[in-house]
Every structure is written in structure tokens, then in C-alpha cells.
Amino acid sequence: MVNAISFFAGAGGLDMGMHSAGFDIKLSVEIESVFCETLKSNHPNWNVYQGDIMKLDSKDIYRLSDIPKDREIDLFLGGSPCQSFSTAGKRQAFDSPGGQAMIHYAELISDIQPKAFILENVRGLLSASLKHRPINKRGKDHPPLLPEEERGSALAHILNQFSGYKINYRLLNAANYGVPQTRERVFIVGIREDFNTTFNFPLETHSKSGTNGTKKWVTIKDVLNKLNVDVHHYQSYSQERLKYMKMIPKGGGNWRDLYEYGEDYVKKAMGGAFHSGGGKVGFYRRLNVNKPSPTLVTSPAQKSTNLGHPYEDRPLSIEEYKAIQGFPEDYFLSGSLLNQYKQIGNAVPVLLAELLGKQILKTIKVDEHIKA
């Protein structure tokens, strides 16, 4: 088995997919103790290290992973914290702890020079700027944007940190690879320059319409039909929220379906959000059983991003979260219920990770470069 080092391991979605693809995860680094408990409980043979990537250097990586210094590391993998690049966040880019951790991840790669690396982050990374200028300070009455204020300058900056690699990146929709979730994330893959090749992302296997040789998207119905769980664990709605959720049509709908009862009723249900902008599709949302799930969030009972069960008057359960993300039914999650949602909601879908891992193996032509 070829080796790999994992950072920002979380609940282990990316690690499990890469392991299934053929990588031996020699070290999984994760700062949160609860996440480490999850990893150790499900993978007792894995080398899980609880610690801050910012405090690790190349010597630490070889020491902790027990990889001899005269042996190359085949893959670095990680999905770094993403809040600083989210359009809903403070847009701190690399000034945030998460952004700094991403930069250090790149520094470790440039120092150690593994054969390949993969980095996952939110789609906001594609358009994020190194320095955010508020909207009210833009336009003809203000100075032109500086280079570091331009859209995409954050992505350009991080790509420049990976010295010695040919890089390809793409926004992937997990649903196009057989995952029952329209989760969009940016994946950056680098192949060391001496391989003289560029990584090509795996071909999409699924599509919304199922045309051009692809299968149709996997739906929530497909997930529920396969799930065999006696007890579901989930957040509870308040009595006020529950009253309105019961009025949303079974099989899929959202707040707009409340218009059947009159606009005054809708205004009362929505409160201040009624006059806010945007489509507000997540309010009182009951998932459409004939579609994949929207992106799983860290709390399915949030007002604006509600992930309601298609038929039952409750949010999606932890068990349904695991099934959507490709985790085994018996996968143990440490911590509180909200912490469990966070772990699975932040994970890379296992199937997508496996497909990417297989493509990386194919690209670096392991058998031709590594002696057993």
C-alpha cells in the first residue's frame, strides 16, 4: 500500500475514501479532541495525532508517521477549515486561523515534496479576495480595487504557495459522482513536477437527467429505501417551528407552500425574514424525496437552512446524515448530538474521496515509481 498523511482529518470521510482507494494513512492529524475520539473508536489501528498543524514541521511529520526519511511520502490530503472563505463568513481569507493553517499545509507540502497532494475547501475560495473591501466602499466614487481586493486573488495566492507542483483545480458537485447530495466543493490537486504529468479529474458518473452515458442522480428516496435503522437521533423543532413544518407538503416543499393558508399566515411564520432578500429556499424546507439532498449543514434544524425529512415532522437524523455522506451505519460518533452533526456535515463524502484517490494513484503511476 502507498502511504499518505492526512491533516484536518475531522470524522474521517476523506481519509476513509483515500484508504479504500489504496492509500495507507500513516498519520491523521486533527486538532479537536472529540473528532480524534471518533477516529480512534472506528479505526483503532490508525495513527491519530491530536494537535495543531501550525506547531508541526517536516521533522515532526516523519517522526509521528514513522515513515523513514529516506522514503518518499506519496500523498498529503486535507480539507482545511473553510469559514474564512465562505460568502456567509467574515471573509478574513488567510488572516484567520483557518486560512493560516491552509498556508502552513502548503508550506509543509513544499518542504516535504510528497508525490501528490489534495486540498478541499468551499466554493467561495474561487472568488474570495485576499483583502475584502466592503460593498459601500466600492464603485465610481471610490478608488479602484487593489490587486489583493480583486475576486480570485486568494486562490491565486494559495496556488503560488505550492512550489514544485503542476496543479489542477475544479469545483465538483458530489451528486455527479453518485453521492445523494448536491454538495459543491473546490478540490485542488497537485502532482510533483518530476512526474511530468497533470492530474485529470475523474469523469462524472451521474447527472440530473442521466444523459450522455451517465446515471441519474441518487435521490433521498434511494437513501431512505436502503437505510435500516431502528432508532433515529435528531434535533427537535420548537413547538412553533413544528406547527408550520407539519403544514409543508409531504415529499418536498418549503415556506412558499404556506401561501395556501394566506399571506398573513406566511408573514407570521417567516417573521423578519419575510421582507429579506434572496430566495429563502431553506426556510421550512422539507426535502424533495425525488432529488438528492442539498449540502448537509452542521445543524439541520437551522431556520434558514432547514433540512426537514421528506415525510416525518423532524430534521434529518444523524443516521441519515451518515448514509448521505457514505459513512457506515454503525460508524460511532463521539460527542454531543450537535457535535456529531458537525462532524458528518463537514466531512468529504467517502465515495467522492475514493474516486479522487483512485485517480491520483493512476496519475502518479505508483507501480513505476515505488519499490515494494
Q: State the Cα–Cα distance between residues 13 and 325, nearest whole angstrom.
A: 8
Which residues are CB-neighbours of 170 under 8 A, at least 6 positions away? 186, 187, 201
- Of all helices (H) and strands (E), which one includes residue 242? helix 239-245
**Torsion 340-343-344-345 (CA) sign:** positive
Q: State the Cα–Cα distance between residues 260 and 288, nearest whole angstrom.
A: 19
82 an active-site residue?
A: yes
Which residues are CB-neighbours of 63 under 8 A, at least 6 positions away? none
Query: Mapping DSSP to helix (H, G, I), strand (E, B) and coil, where does residue 48 land?
Result: strand
Q: State the Cα–Cα distance between residues 42 and 38, nearest whole angstrom.
A: 6
Q: Is 306 within 8 Å of 285 (Cβ atoms)?
A: yes
- Of all helices (H) and strands (E), which one includes residue 239? helix 239-245
Other Cβ atoms within 10 Å of 9 Cβ, number: 29
Query: Mapping DSSP to helix (H, G, I), strand (E, B) and coil, where does residue 366 land?
Result: helix
Q: Is 174 within 8 Å of 204 (Cβ atoms)?
A: no
- What are phi and psi for residue 110, nearest 5 degrees? -65, -30
Other Cβ atoms within 10 Å of 152 Cβ, number: 13
Instruction: Identify the active-site residue in 4, 21, 82, 355.
Output: 82
Q: State the Cα–Cα distance between residues 324 and 16, nearest whole angstrom.
A: 15
Q: Where are the beta strands (DSSP E) in 22-101?
A: 23-30, 48-50, 75-79
Residues annotated catalytic, as ranges:
82
